[in-house]
Amino acid sequence: MATAREIHRHMKSVKNIGQITKAMKMVAAARLRKAQERAAASRPYAIKIKEVLSNIVGDKGTLSGLDPRKHPLLQKRPVKKVGFLVMCSDKGLAGAYGSNVLKHAMSEIMKVNGEVTIITCGRRARDFFRHRGFNVLKSHYGFSDKPSYNNAVEVAYDAAQRFAGGEFDELRIVYTLFKSALAQMPTAEVILPLEPPKAEAPKAGEAQVKTNTEYLFMPEAEDILADLAPRYLETVVYAALVQSAASELGARMTAMSSATDNAAKLVKSLELNYNKARQAQITRELTEICGGAEALKQN
Amino acid sequence: MANLMQLEIVTPDKYFIKRDNVVYAGFEALDGGFGVFANHMPAIAALKDAPFKYRDSNNEEHFIYLSGGFAEIVKNKITILSILAEAAEDIDLERAHAALERAESRIANFTVDLNIKRAEAAKARALGRIRTVELSMAAKMR
């Protein structure tokens, strides 16, 4: 059995680690709240832009007269090369968050028969795919837990360029959908070529108004679409980034919370062992003294 | 009153403004400027990096800088989607001038590794901001 002093040292280190994980948990909780606020704040814009896009596409005669060469992001090609945009964290200590999304990405990649190229967001994703010898076209990092809209613009622009340049014929995004701090779901979706949202199924009463609206386009619908398509892609990427960030922070919070609990439990059991060891030492010393006294008496 | 319009400006990070007493709105679309009064026909426009103006029922004119974006006009409701919106009062004129100078010098000293598109976009943004402030000042002088 370890000596009392050794146990004491162990206890101290466990306590320290517990304090650190507790601090990390609180930081993650505060940031999670911010991330959730940001996700909520970005929703109206995303919904609106989707609406405008479906209004343009839904307009009579727009789609039929569409020149696909003018809209590289809408262009459908036979899928030979598949691109994956994988979003993960920059740092670890977030429980199974990273490995869950990367595992999901791997299983999606395995389903593809054809060439696979990868764009990553977050250092963890980059390292993961580099080590496995994948073709990583580009890695974005440094903003996994606090994405700004400009980050999304950068990622979307890069992806759009590569798509238009034929580096892949389809782009799928793999990110983590935030359900709650305890539940996150890795998700994969095709984001390029852009699938214009279908005009929503008309609700009762609203139906007449929607179908009768005919828009005046300034400039031509085609030109607006050329401008709108990349913007729409940005919002899709931004939404995914924000979801991933919230998931990362949620996962980190839960992981750190259970680490803190675990540290407290460990300290408790160490304390018990420490007291036992201390008691054993006292008993031993006492018997040694008594034994010594007895021996002296006999002389 | 029947000839008022609603106005919403939405950016990715927030609801920028929401008004329901707009009399007139002036846009600069990619193919030229246009103005909107109440009962305008439904329209969708792609906007330039430029000032946007609206006049409310108190006859006050407001100028807002928009970094591109889209405007949808349906049933007396104007919705503007823009990545960035700044009210004239919030624009830092000095910074805009500095940005303009920087962008211009970058374009003038063209080198191969220069991202010319980015420099030109920066120039357009700075010009848009400056014009917004100037227009707003001019409107106040009147």
Test A217 with B15 for CB contact under 8 angstroms. Answer: no
User: Lowest-confidence range among A148-152, B43-47, B91-95?
Assistant: B91-95
Tell me which chain A residues have a C-beta less than 8 angstroms from the C-beta of B42: 213-216
pLDDT grade, residue A203 (50/70/90)?
Answer: very low
**Chain B residue with minimum CA distance to A239:** B12
Phi, psi (deg, nearest 5) at residue A211 = -75, -25
The DSSP code sequence of A27-95 is HHHHHHHHHHHHHHHHHHHHHHHHHHHHHHHHSTTTTTT--GGG-GGG-----SEEEEEEE--SS--ST
Are the beta carbons of B76 and B39 closer than 8 angstroms? yes
Measured in angstroms, the CA of A193 and the nearest CA of chain B are apart by 22
Model pLDDT, residue A65: 60
Candidates B10, B13, B43; nearest CB to A218: B43
Predicted confidence (pLDDT) at residue B118 exceeds the cutoff of 90: no
Cβ atoms of B38 and B85 closer than 8 Å: no
Helix (H) or strand (E) holding A234: helix A221-298
Distance from CA of A261 to the nearest CA of B (A): 36
Query: Could you give the CA distance from residue B75 to residue B6 in angstroms, rounded to a whole number?
Result: 9
Comparing alpha-carbon positions, the chain A residue that sits nearest to B42 is: A215
pLDDT digits (tens, 9 = 90+) for A109-165: 988 888 889 999 999 999 999 998 888 888 899 888 888 888 998 899 899 889 888
- Inter-chain CB proximity A52 and B44 less than 8 Å: yes
Instruction: Say if residue A229's pLDDT is above 90.
Output: no
pLDDT of A242 above 50? yes
- Residue A201: per-residue pLDDT: 47
pLDDT at A22: 94
Peptide bond into A202 cis (omega under 30): no
By Cβ distance, the residue of A48, A215, A223 closest to B46 is: A223
Query: 3-class DSSP state for residue B89?
Result: helix
List of chain A residues whose C-beta atoms are within 8 Å of the C-beta of residue B11: 45
For residues A265-269, give the mean pLDDT. 94
Residues of chain A whose C-beta is under 8 A from some C-beta in B?
A: 38, 41-42, 44-46, 48-49, 51-52, 55-56, 149, 153, 209, 213-219, 221, 223-224, 227-228, 231, 235, 238
Torsion of CA A218, A220, A224, A229, to 10 degrees: 160
Prediction ipTM score? 0.79
Pairing of strands A184-192, A170-178: antiparallel
Percentage of chain B lying above the pLDDT 70 cut: 94
The answer on pLDDT for B55 being more than 70 is yes
From the CB of residue A4, how many other CB atoms can be counted at a distance below 10 Å? 18
Distance CA A88, CA A97 (A): 8
CA neighbor of B125 nearest in space, from B32, B34, B51, B17: B51
Give the number of other Cβ atoms within 10 Å of residue A173's Cβ.
26
Strand pairing class (B61-74; B43-56): antiparallel
**Mean pLDDT score, A223-234:** 84
